[in-house]
Copies of this chain bind each other. A is one copy, B any other.
Amino acid sequence: MTIKELSGIAKRESYVLAALSGEKRKFALENIAQEIKRNAEEIFAANDEDLKRAEEAGLPMPVIKRLAFKEEKLAETLNEISALINLPDPVGEVTLHRELAEGLILKRVTCPIGVIGAIFESRPDALVQIACLCIKSGNCVILKGGSEAASTNKALFKAIHTAALAAGLPENCLILAESREDVKSLLSCAGNVDLLLPRGSNEFVRYIMENTTIPVIGHSEGLCSIYIDEEYDPEIALRVVLDAKTQYVAVCNALDTLLIHKNAAPAIFPKIAEMFKEAKVELRAQEALLKYADCVKAREEDFDTEFLDYILAVKQVESLEEAIEHINSHSSHHTDGIITKNPENAEKFMNEVDSAGVYLNCSTRFADGNRYGFGAEVGISTGKIHARGPVGLSGLVTYKYKLYGNGDTVGQFAVGEKKYTHKDLD
């Protein structure tokens, strides 16, 4: 069957899945954890195939590292599923309860979105995370992972799908898409697919947006900045900036741009330069800073670059306002922080910087669904619509309005026979 036909079946079965109880979805997740454990050897063997292919193809070390799915990743994955099982059911939450008029009661209740199309990179654990988050939130999902992880994904999918079916979930609540052509087909499934979650480069996410009418929540680049304000704690500044840049360089919440107030620069920049020299990070500094330390002169494009590497662009600014303006026009609206001892400046920065995460005196690396306590994430949204920042369960539900009456008509209100009370209940 084609992805289009499959998505039509998934759409119909999404109503069945949405009607299942939270208990049943919980049971399915327990079953999935067990089945993955039971099939560990098979999954490891499949992963060996992927790793062998990747080495033969000469893929870079960081890609190969992310591709690996062994004992440690398995344990992590099982931990994540068990944390997810223990989170409250995101479906059926009443978020508004209002008497519109006597005997006419409105409830806004969370419900699954329907069918989700997820396109992600070559980390096989991403497949497990996304599938489990979708089941927990009552959504069908079409999964397309990176081709480098094809064998591992297939083995993981088999275990997950078998366990879900055995738990009584509908057959097409989980669909594995395997070819690049499937991605193209997926884009034309408006009406069947309710939401696309692409993860990848800006170009890739933009390509998806340009070629579909399905709503898209994109996980793309994170050009993250930290601004060191005029009054700051140097110990905190050094510690946080080092962690943000070097704790894991290849990820979206790592630091790319450092802004320093002109009155802070003379004292702190030499120390920063020394610290990063030791950490083998290349600093690309704006001209005004070169007199304080020996480093490469930054080009303009460095301030629009997500490095994903041991490189950091540094700029001196005249004021808090200039820092905010720089970030609003150069950052990718992912996560940006301020180091300051001045609480007013902190609030101004956090209110006026237009990013999903605005941080005070801590590392940008905290931008993550697990660290926020969301029970993993399907991605980190740099868009503003529906879900922003780490997208966990609350980003995977929508709501419906339930109105309970007893023969109520709008005509009664039009002629003044009845009156709206608009009284919130509970």
> Which of B217, B235, B247, B407 is the one whose CB lies under 8 Å from A414?
B247
Q: Mark A354-386, 1 if CB is under 8 A from B, else 0.
A: 111111111101110001110000000001111
State the CA gap A357–B104 with chains docked (Å): 14
A352 x B15 contact (CB < 8 A): yes
Among A98, A248, A356, A384, chain B packs the most CB atoms within 10 A around the CB of A384
Q: Which residue of B lies closest to A233 (CB)?
A: B407
Number of interface residues of A (CB under 8 A): 75
Among A247, A389, A404, A409, chain B packs the most CB atoms within 10 A around the CB of A409
A405 x B360 contact (CB < 8 A): yes
Q: CB of A350 within 8 A of chain B?
A: yes
Q: CB of A301 within 8 A of chain B?
A: no
> Which of B98, B206, B240 is the one whose CB lies under 8 Å from A213?
B206
> Which of B360, B403, B414 is the one whose CB lies under 8 Å from A359?
B403
State the CA gap A408–B15 with chains docked (Å): 44
Among A15, A19, A216, A400, chain B packs the most CB atoms within 10 A around the CB of A400
Q: CB of A388 within 8 A of chain B?
A: yes
> Which of B215, B367, B372 is the one whose CB lies under 8 Å from A385?
B215
> Which of B240, B401, B407 is the one whose CB lies under 8 Å from A372?
B401
Q: CB of A135 within 8 A of chain B?
A: no
- Copies of this chain present in the complex amount to 2
> Which of B15, B100, B365, B367 is the one whose CB lies under 8 Å from A366?
B100
State the CA gap A113–B216 with chains docked (Å): 16
State the CA gap A367–B401 with chains docked (Å): 9
| Smallest beta-carbon distance A312→chain B, Å | 16
Interface residues of A in 386-426 (CB under 8 A from B): 386, 388-389, 398-411, 413-414, 420, 422
| Smallest beta-carbon distance A187→chain B, Å | 12
A363 x B401 contact (CB < 8 A): no
Q: CB of A302 within 8 A of chain B?
A: no
Q: Mark A256-277, 1 if CB is under 8 A from B, else 0.
A: 0000000000000000000000
State the CA gap A36–B242 with chains docked (Å): 56
Q: CB of A328 within 8 A of chain B?
A: yes
Contacts of A384 in B (CB 8 A): 113-114, 194-195, 215, 398
State the CA gap A389–B410 with chains docked (Å): 17
Q: CB of A239 within 8 A of chain B?
A: yes
> Which of B233, B236, B358, B386 is the one whose CB lies under 8 Å from A401?
B358
Q: CB of A127 within 8 A of chain B?
A: no
- 26 A–B contacts from the bound complex (CB under 8 Å): A18-B354, A98-B372, A98-B373, A100-B372, A113-B385, A195-B385, A206-B213, A209-B213, A236-B406, A240-B405, A247-B410, A350-B400, A357-B400, A358-B402, A358-B403, A359-B402, A360-B402, A361-B405, A361-B407, A361-B408, A363-B405, A363-B409, A367-B401, A371-B420, A372-B401, A384-B398
Known: A215-B385, A244-B409. 5 other contacts (CB 8 A): A239-B407, A240-B408, A358-B401, A362-B403, A388-B399
